[in-house]
Structure 1
């Protein structure tokens, strides 16, 4: 009997802001993501459980919040709390592989210091970088074959954090223009490897070239993880000069004063070295970031065209998301950190599922990135483990994005957390509804934002007398999330919150 389960193409970008592909966002050219939204469903209220690469990606794999899987900060750092996932911890990919799917993977991993996608059911087809993973030489060899070895290119328009944004001797590398051709970028290479995988599946083989011992019609799951638009925002022409610096306006949150905010917010401005940037520098960085987004969008178009060319488009679910966002000057900040603003916690999410999803639907239900773990399993008719903090999005996909049509209802809030990165540990928890956001900061003042009147999250209302009842209800909602997910902080934080004025 033929296997009728869908193929899945999952495209995960690295540090892509939600607003770049939102209809009311900045003027970033994303025709392919716009096409996915028009041919599928766009989730307008999708959030990462944590704005740290390793932690978010581990949640995606395990269907658990970070406190459940234990990878609280980045695995490549010397102070990683847990450098690898415990081998006994269940992941959606291993369960799909056991269920008969042929899994392949290209690009960024960053879920373990000593582990690779091949430890979790995937065949790895290359594309890693030396900073986060360094698990193959495929891209390096590709560049050498093209006569443009990595590390032997003179970049232009380089931008760094620190007191002198043009000084390469200090600070963090932010952005630059590269003289290489588009075909020599890692984004192009990852798309090429993904197209190779699609072609292999189309002719009845495995993406890694091995003989498939299972059914010839076994569905495939391919994951394409792009290294970008994470900094450094290094792009070639035409993307490097695609966006006019003079036309880029500061976001509303650029007016940040840090008044009434946790002290770590202003400290982080200096810690990241972003205090040396004025708006001209941020405009330059923003232009390169937007160019990076469009570069990846164009590579995704090549991938979607391959699905059509090989006759797989109608039987393949296409999912695009990002692990988390990026400040890119919002709140005058760089990268991400102990600041739970929508700039880094709200993520893009589009799902195209021919014959199931209503084209052009918009789902306003709040969902988590790691809900995709349960979603992929349900698509593959594989049981979701009881220990997953993940709820399948399939009922939302089948109902045109209407949460009221979902049996048992759908939560009206999301829960997120932060535990620190390379600067040390720092406890945060967040609960967000459509209108309000409450952030618990263990060592400092809490935060409360009315997103309807203050979408830029500039005014902390935590002590505002007119928001006392809102504050109380959100604290109770946060306690409920902590109890539901067995957050280890539930032993003492709930009493702190209930006793707070």
Structure 2
């Protein structure tokens, strides 16, 4: 049986149960669940806005590491994230948010600069992010406009000596191990330390100068050097202890065995799967650990938002929450990210603006939005001109309920990290079809998926004559965007 036939047969025979039905529905954007409005955000939305008229807003940009789009309580059947849920139900949650490169280094450079990897050229193993891009990053432009800028947590982007001095008034870079000994002999989790430092930053706020704080949690990224992999705060020890984690969809050996050789055992996705999910008991333990880390981040964010309220800063502080890339939890026989599939590139994105009208709260825009849209959005919220070098667009019109008629209908996806275990790829994700080509394979290996009919991307249509026209058009579109962003790699 050929590869296409075997996968088609597998697709027709798969029975994923409750968990996979939820996941497939989430990929299609049809899951709807509303959480109760929390006290802190209710107080914020009811606060006096007249006193804020004419003031530039404070900006709190929160990033998480390896939190994919469906890892929020408002869409997940087990996960508990009450703070994130309140932000979503009182703010705007974008149902189709993506990163243009699914790896932290390149994606975080894109968050800073508003540019795709093909343009800024930064990822692991490359020279530092060039000064010409740093100079047009959102922290530099906000600081030049009078904002007090701070960064706490995982930076993940190498810069030239002295570059961060122009970016941040306050910088505290953090990395695992997650459990840190304190001066008094106690231990504290890195997530809680980041929240502690964020609270200190807020307490030092100046009444006459707005702030822009990036709070960048390392969690829920695994600690690759720790056998436990997922290391959570002690307060989360018992959470999910009674939950039986359902088997992930596409975890059947037959699906993995039907993949091309370069996407199988030599792939870093499979190597990391062996670390984390190769036995049922390990998969249960690791997935619960991943969930606990997310719940730990949620609790830390709740402390930070509570301090904003206590300091009477909440009514004029816009909060943005976004993941830096998606994640596999055993789906497709994989762990990690890196590849162009939905679970790897699709992320949570929530914007809470306390100044927004009550009618706009709880909105669920469906337009495709990207990590490269964050920098222009932050600048636009601050009333600062958006650099012409930025390739993303401000989300402010969508936050206000508008549907820009010229909004994108597709976007470029790529991965250029030069390591044999992660194959380079480039392509286009459109409203219905996704195209990817692994351009260093001989011959070039192509994938084409119909996301409407096949949201879990199980049937590669690239060799199907009935889809040759779509394949040809998406090849052309990939070439066009590749040229626009910097040319062949």
Corresponding residue of 2:149: 103
The equivalent position to 1:185 in structure 2, one of 189, 211, 223, is: 189
- In structure 2, the gaps of 5 or more residues are 1-51, 224-229
Corresponding residue of 1:297: 298
SS in 1 for 2:131: coil
Q: Deviations over 1:338-376 (max 9, x none)?
A: x21112210110000122361100011001112111111
The equivalent position to 1:94 in structure 2, one of 140, 149, 157, is: 140
Corresponding residue of 2:102: 51
Corresponding residue of 1:77: none
Q: CA deviation at 1:218?
A: 1.8
Corresponding residue of 1:226: 217
Q: CA deviation at 1:18?
A: 0.9
RMSD: 2.6
Q: Deviations over 1:376-404 (max 9, x none)?
A: 111111111212111111111112xx53x
Q: What CA distance in whole angstroms lies between the structure 2 residues aligned with 1:270 and 1:382?
A: 41
Q: What CA distance in whole angstroms lies between the structure 2 residues aligned with 1:436 and 1:131?
A: 40
Q: Does the 8 A contact of 1:3 with 1:217 survive in 2?
A: no
Counterpart mapping for 1:89-488 below 5 A? 89=134, 90-112=136-158, 118-126=164-172, 128-129=174-175, 143-148=181-186, 184-201=188-205, 204=206, 216-232=207-223, 233-244=230-241, 247-255=244-252, 257-258=255-256, 261-266=259-264, 267-268=266-267, 272-275=271-274, 277-337=278-338, 339-356=339-356, 358-399=360-401, 402-403=402-403, 406=404, 408-423=405-420, 426-442=423-439, 443=441, 444-483=444-483, 485-488=484-487
CA distance 1:115–1:424, change in 2 (3 Å): farther
- In structure 1, the gaps of 5 or more residues are 75-79, 133-138, 149-179, 205-215, 491-501
Q: Does the 8 A contact of 1:245 with 1:287 survive in 2?
A: no
Q: Deviations over 1:154-187 (max 9, x none)?
A: xxxxxxxxxxxxxxxxxxxxxxxxxx5xxx1111
Between stretches 101-110 and 474-483, larger displacement belongs to 474-483
Q: Does the 8 A contact of 1:101 with 1:221 survive in 2?
A: yes
Q: What CA distance in whole angstroms lies between the structure 1 residues aligned with 2:162 and 2:329?
A: 30
Q: CA deviation at 1:37?
A: 0.6
Q: Does the 8 A contact of 1:3 with 1:218 survive in 2?
A: no
Between stretches 254-263 and 364-373, larger displacement belongs to 254-263
Q: CA deviation at 1:420?
A: 2.4
Q: Deviations over 1:226-271 (max 9, x none)?
A: 0110002101444244224762112213236246644322131686
Q: What CA distance in whole angstroms lies between the structure 2 residues aligned with 1:239 and 1:395?
A: 38
Q: Does the 8 A contact of 1:245 with 1:284 survive in 2?
A: no
Query: Is residue 33 of structure 1 aligned with residue 84 of structure 2?
Result: yes
Q: Does the 8 A contact of 1:239 with 1:288 survive in 2?
A: no
SS in 2 for 1:51: coil
Q: Does the 8 A contact of 2:268 with 2:421 survive in 1?
A: no
CA distance 1:417–1:112, change in 2 (3 Å): same
Q: CA deviation at 1:294?
A: 0.5
With normalisation by structure 2, the TM-score equals: 0.80
CA distance 1:284–1:126, change in 2 (3 Å): same
Q: Does the 8 A contact of 1:84 with 1:115 survive in 2?
A: no
Q: CA deviation at 1:280?
A: 2.6
Q: CA deviation at 1:421?
A: 4.9
Q: Does the 8 A contact of 2:63 with 2:214 survive in 1?
A: yes
Q: What CA distance in whole angstroms lies between the structure 2 residues aligned with 1:191 and 1:433?
A: 37
Corresponding residue of 2:35: none
Q: What CA distance in whole angstroms lies between the structure 2 residues aligned with 1:431 and 1:331?
A: 21
Q: CA deviation at 1:437?
A: 1.3
With normalisation by structure 1, the TM-score equals: 0.78
CA distance 1:459–1:255, change in 2 (3 Å): farther
SS in 1 for 2:335: coil
CA distance 1:236–1:197, change in 2 (3 Å): closer
SS in 2 for 1:429: strand
Q: What CA distance in whole angstroms lies between the structure 2 residues aligned with 1:61 and 1:7?
A: 17
Corresponding residue of 2:119: 68
SS in 2 for 1:217: coil
Q: Does the 8 A contact of 1:241 with 1:287 survive in 2?
A: no
CA distance 1:193–1:447, change in 2 (3 Å): same
How many residue pairs end up in the alignment? 422
Q: CA deviation at 1:480?
A: 3.5
Q: What CA distance in whole angstroms lies between the structure 2 residues aligned with 1:258 and 1:200?
A: 53
SS in 2 for 1:55: helix
